[in-house]
Structure 1
Amino acid sequence: MRLLRGVYEGPSAHGILHLAASVRGAQAVLRALPGENYFPAFYADRRRDGSLPPLTLSPMWRRPDDTRAPGELQRDLLRAAGRDGGVRNVLLARSEAALLSGEEPPGELTLPPHPETGRSPRLLPCGWQVPGMGETEAAELALEDLVRAHAAPQPRTAEPTANLFGPLALGRDAEAEYAEAERLLGLMGVGVNARVPLGAGEEELSRLTRAWVNVVLYREVAESATLYLQDEFGIPRVTTPMVGTSGTGAALRAAARVCELEARTVRQAIWGELSRTAKLPWYARLAPPEVFEDKSVFIFGDFTYALGLGYALSREVGLRVAGCGTYLTHLARDFAFHASTFTDAAFASDDPEEVARRIEGAAPDLLVGTELEREVAGSLGIPFLPFCPPAGERSFAPRPLMGYAGSSVLADALDGALRRVEEPREEAGPPEIPWTEEALEELAGVPVFLRGRARRLAEERARELGSPEVTRAIFLESRL
C-alpha cells in the first residue's frame, strides 16, 4: 500500500468546470455520482465572495420512470440552458464514473431559445473526454471547442491589438497576470482585443479574429485554441513565457514585430520598465557574489511557470538548475525540448513520490514547486517558493509573477530564500553518523517526503545518547 499525499491535477471533468467558471455566460452540467460533486467546495474556497459556481449536477442514480427529479441527462441539459437568459454556452462534463459507465453524450440536441432573450445557447458535449484524462488537457480542448464555436472572419482592427490567452480563473493571481501583460502591451501602443478565457463572453469570443496577434501567457490551456486561430485565420502566436525580464522582453519584442511597431518605441518601453519596475536584474548584479555562488535550484510544476522560472533563475540569476520537471505528462516531449536549454535533468512525472526522490537525490539549495513539494523542502531543510500551480497560498493583494512587475516579486522572494541558504548547511555541521542495516531498512519504510526529517531526528537522538551509530532502536525512539 502506498501513502497518497495528493494529486497535481484533478480529472477531466474539473478542467471543463474550471473553464466554465472562467467564461461569462457559461453553464456546466456535471454528469456524475452525487459523491463526485466536490467542485463547489473548491470554487467557494478560491473565490471567497459567496458566489455560486456555474454548475448543474445531473446525478447518476436509479430513478423511477415517473419522477421529474434531476438525473435524466437530456432533461438536465435543457433545464440548465433555460435557467438564466445570460447562459450562452452549456458545457457537458462527465465524471470518471460516467465515462467508465459507457454512457454516451447526447447526439444532435438543440437547446431551445430562452423565453426572455429569444436566443438559443450552444451545447458543447465535449465528446473527446476519455477516462484518465487530466484537467489541464480537458480545459485546453474545451477552450478550443468554445473558440471554434464562436470565432468567425472579421476585419482586423485599425490599430494593433492582441488577444491575451492566459490562466483560468481560481488560479494563482490570474487577474494580476492579465493586467500586467495588458499594461506592458499598452506601453508599446498595442491594445487588448480580448482576454481569454478569464472573463471572456460571447462578444469577446466572436471578435477574436480581429486581433493582430495572440499573446499566449499560459500555453497549457491556450495551445489548441491559438493553433486553430493561426491555421484558420492566420493570426500569429507569441508563446515565449513572460516570466523574468529576459522572457518578458523576448515576448514583447516578438509581439512588436508582428504588429510592425517602430523599434524606437519598443526600446523606450522596455528600457523604461527595466529601469523603473524590473528589480530582478538589479538584484542579480548587486547582491553579494556568495549569495549565488555554487547554488542550485530544483523546479517542478506545470509547463509555463516551470520553464519560465528555469530560464530566469539560470540565465538572469546564475543558479544551477539541478532538475526541472512537470506533472503534465502529455506535454513531456515538448517540455524536455525547452528545458534542455538550461538543464540536463528535465523530466515529466505525475507521481509525487518519484518527484520527492528526485529532489532528495539532487540535494538543491532552493526548491521551487507546487504545494505538494512544501513538505519535501521542510523535510530536507531547504527554502521553498510555491510559485508553480497548484499552489495553496493565495495573495489577498494580487501580485503577478509575469512581466516586469512579476520579476520584482521574484527578486523579493529569492532574496529572502537565498539569504537563508547563506547560513551554513547541515552538511557543514556535525559529521554524519553511520547507520546500521536494520536502521536503514526502517528508514526506507518512511515516505520519501518525510525521510530527510526522519534522518535528522534519528542522528540528533544518537548524538544525545552518545551512540557512535544510529541503530534500529534509536531510530524508532526518535520517531516517538
Structure 2
Amino acid sequence: MKLAVWTYEGPPHVGAMRVATGMKGLHYVLHAPQGDTYADLLFTMIERRGHRPPVTYTTFQSRDLGSDTADLFRSACEDAVARFSPEAIIVGASCTAELIQDDPGGMAEAMGLPVPVIALELPSYQRKENFGADETFYQIVRHLAVPCARSERPTCNILGPTGLGFRHRDDVTEITSLLADMGIEVNVTAPMGSRPSDIARLGAAHFNVLLYPETAEAAARWCEKELGQPFTRTVPMGVGATRDFVAEIRRLVPEATAPSEAGLRLPWYAASVDSTYLTGKRVFIFGDATHAIAAARIARDEMGFEVAGLGCYNREFARPLRQAAKEYGVVPLITDDYLELEAAIEAAQPEMILGTQMERHIGKRLGIPCAVISAPVHVQDFPARYSPVMGFEGANVIFDTWVHPLVMGLEEHLLHMFRDDFEFSDEAGASHHGTAAARPAAAERAPEPAAEPATGEVVWLDAAERELRKIPFFVRGKARRNTESFAAARGVAQISVDTLYEAKAHYAR
C-alpha cells in the first residue's frame, strides 16, 4: 500500500538507471519482468527527457518462468551490443528478477562480449535508489578509471550528477562557471554527460568536486585512495557554504583566484525591508540529507528563519543529519514513512515546509506553504529555465523559491482582511468579469441549517469562523487547533468569538 501511495526512493536498479541515463555510450541490460519497464516514465515524463533511457529489458513473463530465463538474458545482451554499439555495458537484475537467481553478471562476463561488462550486485530488498546510483557509479569508476599523468593546468572532476537529479543540470553549469572564474578547468563531469572513455581519464585531474554525496561518495573515496585525488567535503548550497567551498578549493589549489560575487543578491534581499517581516518564521526541513542539512544552514544563518524540525529519508546519512539536528536544537527525524513525517510536521506547527514533492502534498493538507528543496520531485521541478540551487546564483534562486510562498501567503491574508469590503467580499464576482458574475447576495440565499455536533465535538459559530479567517493562513491552522483544544478542555461545545480570544490569551501566557 505504501508503494502505491508514495515512496521517497525507488529500488536500487532505478538508481543504476539514473547513472546510465546520465551517461553516453553506456548501456544497461536489466533482467526484469515486463512490468518493471515503468521506470522509463520517470525520465520521459517527469524529467521531460527527449529520449528513452539506454536500457534493454529482458521483460520475461510468467509463462517464461517454466523454461530457461537465462537464455532471455543472454539474447538481450547480444542484441543490445549489436544494436547500440556501446563502449561498455552494465548488467543487473530488478527486485523481481533477483528472486529467480539467474546471476546476470556471471552470465554476461562468460559471454565474451566485445565491450567491457560491469556486473552490478544491488540488494533490492535491503537497499534503495540512492545506494543503487552510488554503487553503480563506484563500480563503473573502479572498472574503467586508470592512473594517468596529471594535467599541466589545475583541473578537477565534478562527481555525482545523474539523470532525474534535483537541478543537477543547472548546478553543474553554475559550479563549472564558478570554477572557471577561479582559473580551474573541469576535466570530466560524471556520471552525467560523460562516456566510459571519459571515466578512463578521471586520473588526469588534480582533485574531485563531490557535489552529491548520495550518488558519488563511494567513487570519490576510491579515487582518493587509488588515484591520489583529494575531494571536496563542502556542498556549495547557499552563500556561506559556497564561500566555504571556495576556501576549500583554494587550500587544494593555492594559485586559484577568488570568484566574483557581483551577481549575488541573497544577502541584501534577505536584509531588506520587504523581507524582515519574515524573520523568525519557523520552518520544518525534510529531504535527502545533503539538501536538508544545507537548507537548515541557509534558513537560520542567511534567511533569519527558525529551524523547527529537520529530517531525511536516506538512512545511510543518518549520522551527519543527527549531528546537524543537534546544532539546531531539534529532534532528528530519519524516516521514509510519510505518515510519520506528517504527524511530526503537524506537531511542530511550522509556518513553512522545505521538503520534497511529498511534503508539498502534506502542506496542502495542513494548510502550510511548502518550497521544494530535494528529490523526489515532480515535473514542475525540472524547469525549462536556468534554475540552479548551488553556487551564488543558486543562492538567489533559493531566496526566490523560499520567500515567494510566504509572500503569496501575505497577499492571501490581505484579501481575507478585506473580505467584507464591497469589492472583495465573497458575494462579489471577479472584478474583470463585471457585476454580472457576482453571486447572489447573502440575504437572497436560503440559510443553511446548522449541523448538529457529534458527541465530544466542538462547533465553530459563524462569527468565530469569520474572525478566524482574519488570521494569516500560515498560522490559522495552529490557531484553530489551539482554540479547539482550549474549548474541549473546558467542556465548551460551541466556539464563539470570545472563546477564540480567550484561547489566544491562554496560549500567549
* Matching residue of 1:223: 217
- The 5 Å alignment of 1:129-208 reads 129-208=123-202
**Hey, what does 1:396 align to over in structure 2?**
384
Q: Is the 8 A contact 2:31 2:104 kept in 1?
A: no
Match of 1:105, as an amino acid?
A: P
Measure, in 2, the Cα distance between the counterparts of 1:220 and 1:63. Answer: 37
Specify whether residues 36 and 254 from structure 1 end up closer, same or farther in structure 2 by C-alpha distance, changes over 3 A only. Answer: same
Q: Which residue of 2 aligns with 1:107?
A: 106
Does structure 1 conserve the Cα–Cα contact (< 8 Å) formed by 2:309 and 2:330? yes
Contact 1:19 1:168 in 2 (8 A): yes
- The CA deviation at 1:47 is 4.8
Q: How many residues align?
A: 430
Q: Does 1:294 align with 2:280?
A: yes
Tell me by how many angstroms 1:416 deviates: 1.7
**Which residue of 1 is the match for residue 302 of structure 2?**
316
Q: Which structure 1 segments of 5+ residues have no match?
A: 114-119, 430-434, 441-451, 471-480
Counterpart secondary structure, 1:90: strand
Match in the other structure for 1:341? 327
Does residue 98 (structure 1) correspond to residue 97 (structure 2)? The answer is: yes
Specify the alignment match of 2:494 in structure 1.
468
- DSSP-derived class of the 2:5 partner: coil
1:379 and 1:128 map into 2 onto residues whose CA distance is 36
Deviation of 1:106 after TM superposition, in Å, equals 3.8
1:300-379 correspondence to structure 2 within 5 Å? 300-379=286-365
Identity of aligned residues (%): 29
Aligned-residue offset at 1:284: 1.9
Report the 3-state secondary structure (helix = DSSP H, G, I; strand = E; otherwise coil) of the residue aligned with 2:28: strand
CA contact (8 A) 1:30 1:95 kept: yes
Q: Give 1:231 shift.
A: 1.1
Shift of 1:100: 2.7
Q: CA deviation at 1:376?
A: 1.4
Q: SS of the residue aligned with 2:162?
A: coil
Q: Give me the TM-score of the superposition, normalised by structure 1.
A: 0.82
- Cα RMSD (Å) of the superposition? 3.1
Partners of 2:105 and 2:118 within 8 A in 1: no
1:158 corresponds to which letter in structure 2?
A: E
The whole-number CA distance in structure 2 between the counterparts of 1:74 and 1:416 is 53
Q: CA deviation at 1:237?
A: 0.9
Cα 1:63–1:308 change in 2 (3 A) is same
* 8 Å CA contact 2:269, 2:275 repeated in 1: no
Q: CA deviation at 1:175?
A: 1.4
- How far is 1:421 from its partner? 5.5
* Residue 44 to residue 283, structure 1, CA distance change in 2 (3 Å): same
Q: How far apart are 1:299 and its partner, in Å? A: 0.8
Amino acid across the alignment from 1:402: M
Return the match for 2:403 from 386, 396, 415: 415
Pairwise CA distance, 1:219: 0.9
Q: SS at the partner of 1:96?
A: coil
Query: SS at the partner of 2:246?
Result: helix
Does 2:82 match 1:82? yes
Task: Give the drift of 1:288.
Answer: 5.0
Alpha carbons of structure 1 residues 253 and 437: separation in structure 2 relative to 1, 3 Å: farther
Shift of 1:214: 0.7
Residue aligning to 1:15: 15
Q: Match for residue 29 of structure 1?
A: 29
**Cα distance in 1, alignment partners of residues 16 and 172 from structure 2:** 21
Instruction: Measure the CA separation in 2 of the matches of 1:137 and 1:64.
Output: 29
**Change over 3 Å in CA distance of 1:259–1:280 after alignment to 2:** same
Q: Report how far residue 187 of structure 1 moved.
A: 0.5
Q: Deviations over 1:414-465 (max 9, x none)?
A: 3323334557989x99xxxxx976559xxxxxxxxxxx79x88x98xx9xxx
Q: CA deviation at 1:380?
A: 2.2
Query: 2:296 is aligned with what amino acid?
Result: G
Residue matched to 1:476:
none
**Equivalent of 2:205, from 196, 205, 211?**
211
Q: Is the Cα contact below 8 Å between 1:296 and 1:366 reproduced in 2?
A: yes
Q: Letter of the 2:171 partner, please give it.
A: E
Q: Structure 2 CA distance, aligned partners of 1:11 and 1:338?
A: 27
**1:111 and 1:122 in contact (8 A); partners too:** no
- CA offset at residue 131 of structure 1? 1.9
**Helix, strand or coil at the partner of 2:96:** helix
Q: Distance in 2 between matches of 1:64 and 1:107?
A: 19
1:341 and 1:211 mapped to 2: Cα distance?
35
**Contact 2:92/2:105 (CA < 8 Å) preserved in 1?**
no
